[in-house]
Amino acid sequence: AGYYSYKWAEVLSADAFFACFENGEIKTDMTDGYKHHILQKGASEPMQALYRQWLGRDPDPQALIKLYDLNG
């Protein structure tokens, strides 16, 4: 179970990365949203709820596949 939590953290990290960067450019609306929805609220709400508030969706595991270029 411990390994799974590390891998899930990688999914969240990769998904957040691709949400905030596009074609080498920082999407400031997304980074500002991250600060507002995730960092400012801390542990006041469940992380899954905060993530949904920020992106309007659940984390996308495909982001990890994209990060490691595993599509073939």
Q: Is the pLDDT of residue 1 over 90?
A: no
User: Which domain does 38 fall in, by range?
Assistant: 2-67
Residue 51 lies in a domain: yes
What per-residue confidence (pLDDT) applies to 2?
82
Residue 72 lies in a domain: no
Residue 50 lies in a domain: yes
Q: What is the pLDDT of residues 5-48, one digit of tens each?
A: 999 999 999 999 999 999 999 999 999 999 999 999 999 999 99
Average pLDDT over residues 46-66: 97
In order of 1, 44, 48, 67, the CA distances from 17 in angstroms are: 25, 23, 17, 9
What is the distance in angstroms between the CA of the first residue and the CA of the last residue of the chain? 28
Residue 14 lies in a domain: yes
Residue 27 lies in a domain: yes
What per-residue confidence (pLDDT) applies to 35?
97
Average pLDDT over residues 53-59: 98
Residue 21 lies in a domain: yes
Q: Is the pLDDT of residue 71 over 90?
A: no
Number of separate domains in the chain: 1
Residue 32 lies in a domain: yes
